């Protein structure tokens, strides 16, 4: 919303607070600002995978099912 309102610098600052989320959107804002090298660096960072516990093959009988 900030970028659409012409506040691209603020949009980039908000996205920089959460570097592991929306890296492509963050890179797009950096490109809009002419910060191409920063955008490339953001896109080259390895994506972190969400940590979910491994399923042990057992089903729970505890609510919620």
Contacts of 9 (CB under 8 A, 6+ apart): 33
Query: What is the three-class DSSP state of 13?
Result: helix
Q: Are 25 and 15 in contact (CB under 8 A)?
A: yes
Question: Does the predicted TM-score (pTM) go above 0.75?
Answer: no
Assign 3-class secondary structure to 5-39. Answer: CCCHHHHHHHHHCCCCCCHHHHHHHHHHCCCHHHH
Q: Tell me the per-residue pLDDT of 30-46, one tens digit each, with 9 for 90 and over.
A: 999 999 999 999 999 87
Question: What mean pLDDT is predicted for residues 12-18?
Answer: 85
Least confident range from 23-27, 32-36, 54-58, 61-65: namely 61-65
Structure tokens at 29: 């804002």
């Amino acid at each position: 919303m900030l970028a659409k309102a012409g506040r691209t610098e603020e949009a980039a600052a908000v996205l920089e607070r959460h570097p592991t989320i929306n890296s492509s959107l963050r890179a797009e804002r950096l490109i809009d600002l002419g910060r191409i090298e920063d955008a490339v660096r953001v896109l080259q960072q390895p994506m972190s995978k969400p940590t979910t516990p491994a399923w042990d093959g057992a089903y729970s009988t505890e609510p919620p099912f």
